[in-house]
Structure 1
Amino acid sequence: MEIMVSSGIIPDAASYTFLVNYLCRRGNVGYAMQLVEKMEANGFPTNTVTYNTLVKGLCMYGKLNQSMQILDRLIKKGLVPNVVTYSILIEAAYKERGVDEAMKLLDDIIAKGGKPNLVSYNVLLTGLCKEGRTEDAIKLFKELPEKGFKPCVVSHNILLRSLCYEGRWDEAYELMAGMDRDGQAPSVVTYNVLITSLSIDGRIEQAFKVLDEMTKSGFKVSANSYNPIIARLCKEGRVDLVVQCLDQMINRRFHLNGGTYNAIALLCERGMVKEAFLILERLGKKQNYPISDFYKNVITLLCRKGNTYPAFQILYEMTVHGFTPDSYTYSSLIRGMCREGMLDEALQIFGILEEHGYVPHVDNYNALILGLCKSQRIDMSIEIFQMMVNKGCMPNEMTYNILVEALAFEEEMELAATLLNELYLKGVLSQSTVERLSMQYDLKQLTG
């Protein structure tokens, strides 16, 4: 920003808002607030969108009280909060304090002359349903016309999901019939909610019928529509039907995604690991890239979704059939284990790898150090770092980045700043990384 000003370019509201948004997304709301104060002090324009960005940034980090102060400041400056402002605050209130507090906040907003829109009420509907208060959600849904709003398809979908989840199928179908009577067209989400709920409840035949109706109605069917059905079929061990579904998806040129592979992995729960592998092998041979890359991708996607144990089981079958795991594959497994709290097992992986002649790569160490740091085992992560160096594996910028962020997260700001400074002086961290970390965690300004 300073470069723009010194070059004679006057930043506008859009430029400032972009930077404020960037800082908030990076977690540095404090710097974002300072930037807004600076732009106002220098006579640059601010608008409601600028303040909305601050409000959203604060709400993302559970700072509802501060976000309300920003709202007061916005109003005092003569700016007018809009429906986005209200929706952000109401959603934050429900997530932070519960839906009752969110409803009180909405009442206060209306009492002060604010005019929230249907989005704000949909947030409340979501909150009530997530708290298991379906009856209250139905009551609010029915009151919407009195409040001047006609329930939209999103409103219907929120309530439909809750009714289906509770197995209240008659009411769910009546809600759908009401949509039809009111001329409210269903959406892709409507159909997917029904398919998912029916599949979870074991009503596969009905799920297939909804899928067929969805197709005939001209809606865009995707892997997300098939995945719940495949998941249920795998839970029941109905391999032939799984294969039929997958063939149908491939013939219709659907893009299989992580949800598809995680659904197939459910066969492992029934001890059908070999069957799961054979299905994946069959799919891999139909891809337009090497099957080894396909296998790596599958293992990574399983680990990301908390299916690390099935990933190990399937990986074993893959290795039996000639696949050699690489550093990336092992890092995926280590990250998955750490994510699922299997830290000791992740540590044991290193010993097992070395016993079999594999030398852990820097990415493997980084995955383990990051997992330990996220579990607040900083001391252990430093031990792994020392072991890494002692074994001749040189840390890279990512390694140091993880350690500095871990210290900052633990609020060891002085130590984080000192380490950051030393690493910069040694030339192992780039200037851009130093500036980003310093700004993101409000560390001391570094020189040199």
Structure 2
Amino acid sequence: MYGKLNQSMQILDRLIKKGLVPNVVTYSILIEAAYKERGVDEAMKLLDDIIAKGGKPNLVSYNVLLTGLCKEGRTEDAIKLFKELPEKGFKPCVVSHNILLRSLCYEGRWDEAYELMAGMDRDGQAPSVVTYNVLITSLSIDGRIEQAFKVLDEMTKSGFKVSANSYNPIIARLCKEGRVDLVVQCLDQMINRRFHLNGGTYNAIALLCERGMVKEAFLILERLGKKQNYPISDFYKNVITLLCRKGSTYPAFQILYEMTVHGFTPDSYTYSSLIRGMCREGMLDEALQIFGILEEHGYVPHVDNYNALILGLCKSQRIDMSIEIFQMMVNKGCMPNEMTYNIFVEALAFEEEMELAATLLNELYLKGVLSQSTVERLFMQYALKQLTG
């Protein structure tokens, strides 16, 4: 649907002419596609057009518009639409309130945010976990840690299921301020309550690195690993992977150094995580350099390391360079696997080089380096020309 709005609308018109009336879910998907492709004004015109043709969108469609207005920074227009919902036959739900609340908090309009919540209470509209998390996140970003803690306490006392996502914004702010003691207290509380720490938690801890407190970040992570009874090597590997996935590749490098000083030996998977992270963040030259550094220290890159780099280069539209890496890989005696070839076929398909992708896929199939199931999946996924010969 997304990226092909005109085509979708043409299909919709044909269905309506044949007497097939789309349901409200279809309308919501189309409106969301419209605002993502062309902006919320076009999405609002589309909604008007749908109504004019006899369509009956539901509250979800209006929530999509509210989201679009807020994402475009048009909070006043969002407030106006929110207030008009009863006239349109809809009572704002908790999702509607949460969308507007997030925007008000982001802009620091706290009095209006609290009034909105008070209105929810008057209307018998109970806040959700998302409502509390929006407040906690916004208060933490604004540096209002004491208030964030109060909201967290209120959330707990009200019987809501508190998770790491509620704590993470507070931990992130405390780390930005270098308040290590409070960070440790929060983490201890989370572990004592048996909360599952996630990537957002480790990403928050990594913010200590911005203040030059890399050793403190490492010591906190080491303590967490021991308190949770993880095999420390597996724990370190998992943390590095999660940091790289969350866009904190440089802090991951800094913390990894401390880990290696304390006896951790990175494996192929860890290096692949770092390479993927660097490519994801546009650090292609650095990703290339890591191979030289690894080899200088006696590490022989694994096929998964090469695949991570080739994938990153292809996603950055550097297929020419990825082919050079492929040739270097083979010259050094590291044989490609099915994933390597899969990456190249998908890269060509993403570049809309369908004929080249089909030709390559045919050749790889005939050479027996791709399984039948992989070949069939790629042909179906990208609508490539069927196998010949």
Cα deviation code 1:370-390 (max 9, x no counterpart) = 000000001000000000000
Cα deviation code 1:53-101 (max 9, x no counterpart) = xxxxxxx441111111121232233322111011001111111111111
Shift of 1:172: 0.4
Residue 45 of structure 2: aligned partner = 104
Residue 248 of structure 1: aligned partner = 189
Counterpart Cα distance in 2 of 1:130 and 1:294: 37
- Give the 3-state SS of the residue equivalent to 1:253 in structure 2: coil
> Does 2:258 align with 1:317?
yes
- Give the 3-state SS of the residue equivalent to 2:200 in structure 1: helix
- Residues 202 and 242, structure 2, Cα contact 8 Å, conserved in 1: yes
Residue 74 of structure 1: aligned partner = 15
Counterpart Cα distance in 2 of 1:418 and 1:255: 47
Cα deviation code 1:245-264 (max 9, x no counterpart) = 00000000000000000000
Shift of 1:420: 1.1
- Residues 2 and 33, structure 2, Cα contact 8 Å, conserved in 1: no
Cα deviation code 1:334-364 (max 9, x no counterpart) = 0000001100000000000000000000000
Residue 217 of structure 1: aligned partner = 158
- Give the 3-state SS of the residue equivalent to 1:393 in structure 2: coil
Matches within 5 A, 1:333-344: 333-344=274-285
Shift of 1:288: 3.9
Cα deviation code 1:160-205 (max 9, x no counterpart) = 0000000000000010111111111000000000000000000000
Between 282-291 and 120-129, report the one with greater CA deviation: 282-291
Between 281-290 and 395-404, report the one with greater CA deviation: 281-290
- Give the 3-state SS of the residue equivalent to 2:227 in structure 1: coil
Counterpart Cα distance in 1 of 2:20 and 2:176: 55
The Cα RMSD (Å) is 0.9
Counterpart Cα distance in 1 of 2:53 and 2:2: 26
Counterpart Cα distance in 1 of 2:128 and 2:380: 43
Counterpart Cα distance in 1 of 2:384 and 2:100: 46
Counterpart Cα distance in 2 of 1:352 and 1:317: 18
Shift of 1:422: 1.4
Counterpart Cα distance in 1 of 2:354 and 2:95: 44
Between 90-99 and 417-426, report the one with greater CA deviation: 417-426
Counterpart Cα distance in 1 of 2:350 and 2:103: 37
Residue 184 of structure 1: aligned partner = 125
Shift of 1:435: 1.0
Counterpart Cα distance in 2 of 1:112 and 1:77: 14
Q: Which has the higher contact order (CA 8 A, sep 6+)?
A: 1
Counterpart Cα distance in 2 of 1:74 and 1:305: 42
- Residues 2 and 37, structure 2, Cα contact 8 Å, conserved in 1: no
Shift of 1:441: 1.8
- Give the 3-state SS of the residue equivalent to 1:247 in structure 2: helix
Shift of 1:413: 2.2
Residue 376 of structure 1: aligned partner = 317
- Give the 3-state SS of the residue equivalent to 1:322 in structure 2: coil
Shift of 1:416: 1.8
Cα deviation code 1:105-150 (max 9, x no counterpart) = 1111111111111000000100110000000000000011111111
> Does 2:235 align with 1:303?
no
Gaps of 5+ in 1: 1-59
> Does 2:114 align with 1:173?
yes
Counterpart Cα distance in 2 of 1:338 and 1:253: 35
Shift of 1:404: 1.0
Counterpart Cα distance in 2 of 1:416 and 1:117: 42
Shift of 1:421: 1.3
- Residues 361 and 375, structure 2, Cα contact 8 Å, conserved in 1: yes
Shift of 1:305: 1.1
> Does 2:140 align with 1:199?
yes
Shift of 1:405: 1.0
Residue 435 of structure 1: aligned partner = 376
Counterpart Cα distance in 2 of 1:74 and 1:247: 58
Between 324-333 and 402-411, report the one with greater CA deviation: 402-411
Counterpart Cα distance in 2 of 1:77 and 1:357: 69
- Residues 245 and 277, structure 2, Cα contact 8 Å, conserved in 1: yes
Gaps of 5+ in 2: none
Shift of 1:415: 2.1
- Residues 178 and 211, structure 2, Cα contact 8 Å, conserved in 1: yes
Matches within 5 A, 1:322-333: 322-333=263-274
**Runs of 4+ more than 6 Å apart:** none
Cα deviation code 1:17-38 (max 9, x no counterpart) = xxxxxxxxxxxxxxxxxxxxxx
Residue 19 of structure 1: aligned partner = none
Residue 85 of structure 2: aligned partner = 144
Counterpart Cα distance in 2 of 1:415 and 1:96: 29
Cα deviation code 1:273-329 (max 9, x no counterpart) = 000000000011123431111111100110011100000000000000000000000
Counterpart Cα distance in 1 of 2:159 and 2:356: 59
Counterpart Cα distance in 1 of 2:309 and 2:156: 45
Counterpart Cα distance in 2 of 1:315 and 1:77: 62
Shift of 1:444: 1.7
Q: TM-score, normalised by structure 2?
A: 0.99
Q: How many residues align?
A: 389
Counterpart Cα distance in 1 of 2:351 and 2:72: 32
Shift of 1:432: 0.9
- Residues 129 and 161, structure 2, Cα contact 8 Å, conserved in 1: yes
Residue 405 of structure 1: aligned partner = 346
Between 71-80 and 60-69, report the one with greater CA deviation: 71-80
Counterpart Cα distance in 1 of 2:6 and 2:285: 40
Between the aligned residues of both structures, percent identity stands at 99
Counterpart Cα distance in 1 of 2:309 and 2:227: 34
